[in-house]
Amino acid sequence: MNQKSRDTDIPAVEYLDSRSAQGPAGSLEELHKRLLLLPPYRWVTQAITRSGLSARGILIATPYLWLLLFFLAPFLIVLKISFSEYAIAQPPYTALFEWVDDVFIQIRLNLENYQLLFEDDLYWRAYLNSVKIAGISTFLTLLVGYPLAYGMTRAPRHWRLALLMLVILPFWTSFLIRVYAWIGILKKEGLLNLLLLNLGVIDQPLVIMNTDMAVYIGIIYSYLPFMVLPLYASLEKMDDSLLEAAADLGCRPIKAFWQITFPISIYGVVAGCFLVFIPALGEFVIPDLLGGSGTLMIGKTLWAEFFSNRDWPLSSAVAVVLLLILVVPIVAFQKMQEKDKAA
Amino acid sequence: MNKGLSWFTWSALVVGFSFLYLPIILLVLFSFNESKLVTVWGGFSTKWYVELFNNQGLLNAAWVTLKVAFVSSTVATLLGTMSGVMLTRFGKFRGRTLFSGMIYAPLVMPEVITGLSLLLMFVAISWDRGFATVTIAHITFSMCYVAVVVQSRLATFDHSIEEAAMDLGCPPGKTFFAITLPIILPAVVSGWLLSFTLSLDDLVIASFTTGPGATTLPMKIYSQVRLGVTPEINAVSTILVGLVATGVLVASIISRRSEAARLRDERLATAER
C-alpha cells in the first residue's frame, strides 16, 4: 500500500525531467539531464529523492543548521561552562562531564559561580545599577525623542520622508564613532566646557566625562532613533480633527495633549521604551568609554571578568543571569506586540 | 494651523536634529584641524589623512574589516533571505517556533553575550580564532537582520501573484527567481547593506571572536580611543561616516526610483485593462 502510493508520487527528478522549458531554466534542466548520465550525480540525486529531502527540505535545513550550530549550541556551552570551575589551564575551566571507566558519565555541577554572584555585592550592585542606568536613560530618551517625533508628524507632508531618513541615517553610521564623538565634547577641556566658559555661563569646567551623566548622554544619543521611529509611527496615525475639536470646545493645548495625543501614542511610547531599555541594559561600549571607574554596568563587568581576570566560568554565569533578567522585558514586549497585532 | 504649534514644531525639529548631527559634524570638522589639540582650531589641514595612509597597522585593519564585512554580509544575505522566505511562505514546518525564536533572539541579545558564547564554542571545538571565526560570528547575527527585513517585505506583497504563476505550472524554484526575487530585491539589497555596516561597526563580538592577525578597524580605533582623542581617529571616522552615509543615500535613492517605476507600471497595467 505504502509502496504503491509512493509510486504514484512523481519524484522531483522526474518532475524536473518532464519539464522542458526554454530559457535559462530550460538549459539548467538540460544540464541536469546530461549530468544524470554520470553515476555519482545520479546516485546523489537518487539518494536525495529517496530520503524525501526536497528542495524545500534543503532550503529549510541550511539556515536552521547554521543557527543551531552558531547560536543555540554556543548558549548551551555557556550554560555548561557556568557550572564548571575556574582552573589554571588551557582552556581555563574544569570539565563538567567525565567518563568513569568509559561507562558512566560523572557530572560535577558546581554552583559556586552563581553563589558568588549573589554573595559578592560587586555583582548584584552591577546588575541593579545597569537596570537603574538603563531605566533612567530610557526615560530621558523618551523626553528627548517625543518632541522630535511629534515635530516630525507636524512638519509638511513632503518633508516627512526626508526627516525620517535623517533620523535613520545616524543609526547606520558606526556606533563606536558616535560614542567617540562625545568624548571630545564632554571632556574637561572639551568643546562644551570651552563654549560655556567663553559665554560666561560657568567659571569652572563641568565634570561630565567619566560620570554616569556622560553614560546617560551616550545612551540617549545612540538609541534615539529606536525611540523616535515607533513614536513617529504611532503619532502619524493620529487624526488632527480630534485636536481641533478639543480646541473648539475650549480645551487648553496642554490638557488636549495629555487627554488625546499621549493616549493615542501610548503604543509607540511603550515600544520605544522597550527598544531602548533592552539593548541599554547589556551595553558595554558606552559605559566603558564615557563612564568612569565608578560606573558599574554588567556588560562592563562581564568584559573585565573575561579579558582581565580570565575567569571564563564566572563570566559565563554573569551572562546567564543577565539573560534571565532580560527575559522579563523581552517577553513583556512580545506579549504587547501580539496584543497589538490581534487588536 | 495654530501659530504656537508651528513654533513648537520648529524648535523641536531644530533642537532634535542638532542633537543628532552636531557631534558628527564637529568630529568631521576637527579631522581637518591643523593642531594636534582636538579642541583648538589651528587652521585647515589634511595632514591627518596623509598620516592615515602611512599608518600600515591601521590600513591592514581596514583591509581585514572590509574583507570580513564583504564575505559575512554576502553569506548573511543568502541565509537571511532563505530564512525570511521560510518564515513567510513555508507555512508550518517542524521546529518553526524554535527557528523564529533563533531569528529574533540575536536582535535583542547583548553583544557581550553573543561574543562570549561564540568564543566559548570555538574554544570548545578547538577552532583557531582568526578571520574565519569573526566572519562566522558576523554572519550569524547579520543573517537575522536580513531575515527580518526580507520577511517584512514578503509579508506586505500579494501572495496571489506567486500562486498564479504556480497554478500556471511554474515550478516553485522558478517562481521564486522570476516573480518573488525581483519584488523583494530592494529588501534583499538593503539587508546586504545593513549586514555590511553592522559588520563594519562591530567592536564587541569581533573582540571576542578574533585571533592574532585578524584585528579589525573598530578594535584598532577602540584601543586608540582609550588613550584619548586624536585627530587621526577623527580622520578615520570621517572616512567611515562618509562612506556609509553615501552608500545609504545612494541605496535609498535607487530604491525610491525603483519603487516609483513599479508604481507607474502598476498604474499602466490597470489602465490598459
Residue of A77, A55, A75 lying closest to B102 (CA atoms):
A75
The residue that leads in pLDDT, A123 or A19, is A123
For chain A, domains (ranges, CATH) are 1-52 (no CATH), 115-342 (1.10.3720.10)
C-alpha cell, B255: 530604491
Contact by Cβ (8 Å): A137, A275: no
For chain B, give percent helix, strand, coil, nearest 5: 80, 0, 20
- Distance (Å) from the C-alpha of residue B96 to the closest C-alpha of chain A? 10
pLDDT in tens, B48-58: 899 888 888 88
Which chain B residue shows the shortest CA-CA distance from A178? Answer: B24
Model pLDDT, residue A101 = 62
Q: How confident is the model at residue B5 (pLDDT cuts 50, 70, 90)?
A: low
Please give the model's pTM, rounded to 2 decimal places.
0.83
Q: What is the pLDDT of residues B67-89, one digit of tens each?
A: 999 999 999 999 999 999 888 88
Sign of CA dihedral B63, B68, B69, B73: positive
For A160-189, write each residue's pLDDT tens digit: 888 998 898 888 888 899 999 999 899 888
pLDDT bracket for residue A34 (50, 70, 90): confident
Read out DSSP for A228-284?
HHHHHHHHHT--HHHHHHHHHTT--HHHHIIIIIHHHTHHHHHHHHHHHHHHHHT--
- Does residue A225 contact residue A167 with C-beta atoms inside 8 Å? yes
In the structure, what pLDDT confidence band is assigned to residue A127 with cuts at 50, 70 and 90?
very high
Residue A80 confidence (pLDDT): 87
Non-local CB neighbours of B218 within 8 Å, separated by 6+ positions:
A174, A176, B65, B200, B201, B202, B203, B206
Comparing A296-300, A315-319, B60-64, B166-170, the range with the smallest average pLDDT is B166-170
Kindly give the residue spans of alpha helices, DSSP state H, lying in A68-111.
Answer: 73-82
pLDDT of amino acid A238: 82
In this predicted structure, the answer to whether residue A9 has a pLDDT above a threshold of 70 is: no
Q: Which residue has the higher pLDDT, A110 or B98?
A: B98
Average pLDDT, stretch A314-333? 90
Q: How far is A148 from chain B (nearest CA, A)?
A: 5
Higher pLDDT, A107 or A86: A86
Where is pLDDT greater, at A274 or A8? A274
Q: What pLDDT is attached to residue A184?
A: 87
A93-102, A283-292, A317-326: segment of lowest average pLDDT: A93-102
d(C-alpha A186, C-alpha A204), whole Å: 14
pLDDT of the residue at A340 = 78
Residues 11-40 of B with CB under 8 A from A: 11-13, 15-17, 19-21, 23-24, 26-27, 30, 38-39
| Chain A closest-CA separation from residue B273 CA (Å) | 29
φ/ψ (deg, to 5) at A111: -95, 5
- pLDDT for position B136: 95
Mean pLDDT in residue range B201-214? 91
Lowest average pLDDT, out of A26-40, A242-256, A272-286, B95-109, goes to: A26-40
Q: What is the mean pLDDT of chain B?
A: 87
Q: Are B155 and B88 in contact (CB under 8 A)?
A: yes
| pLDDT for position A1 | 40
Query: Closest Cα to residue A184, out of A174, A175, A194?
Result: A194
Res A104: pLDDT: 63
Hey, are the CB atoms on B19 and A174 less than 8 Å from each other?
no
B residues 56..85 contacting A (CB < 8 A): 79-80, 82-83, 85
Q: Which helix (H) or strand (E) holds A100?
A: strand A97-100
Grouping H, G, I as helix, E, B as strand and the rest as coil, residue B44 is: strand
- In B, minimum Cα distance to A59 occurs at B82
Domains of chain B and any CATH numbers: 51-228 (1.10.3720.10)
Q: What is the DSSP letter of B177?
A: I
Q: What is the DSSP string of B229-271?
A: --HHHHHHHHHHHHHHHHHHHHHHHHHHHHHHHHHHHHHHHHH
Residue B3: the pLDDT is: 45
Query: Per-residue pLDDT averaged across B107-113, rounded?
Result: 90
- The span from the CA of A125 to the CA of A118, in Å, is 10
Indicate if the pLDDT at residue A191 is higher than 80: yes
Residue A100 confidence class, pLDDT cut points 50, 70, 90: low
Rounded to an integer, the average pLDDT of B96-105 is: 88
A213, A294 in Cβ contact below 8 A?
no
Asked if B212 is an interface residue toward chain A (Cβ–Cβ < 8 A), one would say no
Closest CA to B199 of B49, B77, B59, B53: B77
Q: What is the pLDDT of residue B34?
A: 85
ipTM of the complex: 0.87
Beta bridge partners of B226: none
d(CA A124, CA A133): 14
Q: A43 or A134, which is more confident?
A: A134
